[in-house]
Structure formats: structure tokens, C-alpha cells
Amino acid sequence: MRTLVAALVIAAVGLWVFTWATDGFRVATAEGARRLAVAEHPVTIPGVTVEDMDGHVLHLPQTGGRTLLIEFIYTTCPTICQDLGEGFGQLLETIRERKLDDRVALLSISFDLENDTPKMLRHYAEHHGADGDIWKVVRPTSRRDLETLLTTFGVKVLPDPLYGFQHNVAIHVVDGEGRLVRIVDADPASAIETLDEKVSRL
């Protein structure tokens, strides 16, 4: 009898802890937790300065009322960042087709301050068709601003002996008021879906 009571109490407490630890059976990974946290509690982006591929300085999160779709990249990345570029290229097409250019903008932010000079940013931009207007390719102007961005967005960049870096791959949606409101998968299909959901409806 005592055993039954003890085992039931332990199981109940264990279930409660597990439910808490998975946010109600919704997340098992840090990436999932990051996305859920943002969806439930939007994060205001602190002011940082970035420079674009033409050397122009921009202040984030100045959005001009547009929704920003942000990706973190490094231009010398041989694999995933090039796919991300492709994806943003398709997204740019969609934005033009639907004439959403006054409502939404794309931003690729490099976290590789050492290698990604404006020249490299331009190279990446030209290769993937970033027009510098709807889609800008930028890098933070200081290491401090970079750290602020990575911490706020919850992006983790690890040096990789083979390829340079490994990092979270996702599209970060910042609304017109400069708040990070959603983090979604980076494939073009789910990005366009987000576009429908977040932008077309506005």
C-alpha cells in the first residue's frame, strides 16, 4: 500500500516535471523551445547598427513599418547558406509578384565579421539576386552589436573545423514594430506560408 502511494506520487511528480520540461509535450530541443518562446512572448529587438553590401549604415530594428524576414548567414558557407540564399531568392520573387514590397523586406545578416567584408556581402547578394532594396545583405558594424543580435535572436554559432561554422537555420520574423514575433523553418514553402499568414493579411 505504501509502495503504491509512493510510486503514484513519484510518477505524478515525474509527469509534472516532464510536462514542464517539454512545455506541455511541445518541445524537446533548444531550437523548438526558442521558437515557442518567441511565438508566445515576442522579443523587442534592441537597437544595433549594420552595414549593407554598398557600405551604407542601417539602424535596426528600423523597419519603416515593414515586416522583416531575417536569416543569419556567412557568405563563405559552402552548403546551407547558399540554400538559404536560393530560398530568399524565391521569396523575393513572391514578394514582387504579390506587390508586397511596401510591406515586407528580407535581410540576410552575416555573423562572420572577419571574412564578410562589404565586397563579400555584395558577391553573395549578386549571386543570389538580392536587389539591395527589398532584400539587403548586411553585417553588424561591431562585435558587440553582433553579440547583441545573436543573443536576442537566440542564434548559436559554432566554429566547424570543416566548413567554417554551424548555426541555427531558420527565418526570423520581425514585425513592423521591431519585435521578433516568429521563428520558422527556412525552406521557401514554409517561408511563403508565413508570408501569407503574417503579411498578406495585414
Partner 1 sequence: MTSDLLKVPLFAGLALWAGLAIPYVRLALETRLTTHVLIELLGLAVAGYLIGIGLRPALAPGLQSWNRFGLSGLAMAICCGAVWMLPRWLDASLESSIVETAKFASLPLLLGLPLALSWPELGAIMRGFVKTNFLSMLLFFAWLYIASPVRLCNSYLIDDQTMLGVSFIAVAGLLSLLWAVPLFIGRGFAVQAAPDRNTQITKDKNYAVRSID
Q: Where along the sequence are the contacts to partner 1 (CB under 8 A)?
A: 2-4, 6-7, 10-11, 13-15, 17-18, 21-22, 27-34, 156, 158, 160, 162, 166, 168-169
Q: Which C-beta is closer to partner 1: that of 13 or that of 202?
A: 13
Q: Is the peptide bond before 61 cis (omega within 30 degrees of 0)?
A: yes
DSSP class of residue 66? P
According to DSSP, the β-strands at 135-140 and 104-110 are: parallel
DSSP string, 155-199: --EEEETTTEEEE---EEEE-TTSEEEEEE--SHHHHHHHIIIII
Q: Which C-beta is closer to partner 1: that of 17 or that of 189?
A: 17
Q: Is 34 helix (H, G, I), strand (E, B) or coil?
A: helix
Half-sphere exposure of 31 (CA within 13 A, CB side): 11
Q: Which C-beta is closer to partner 1: that of 14 or that of 65?
A: 14
CB 126 → partner 1: shortest distance, Å?
Answer: 29
β-partners of residue 52 are 138
CB 186 → partner 1: shortest distance, Å?
Answer: 10
CB 7 → partner 1: shortest distance, Å?
Answer: 4
CB 71 → partner 1: shortest distance, Å?
Answer: 15
Q: Which C-beta is closer to partner 1: that of 3 or that of 201?
A: 3
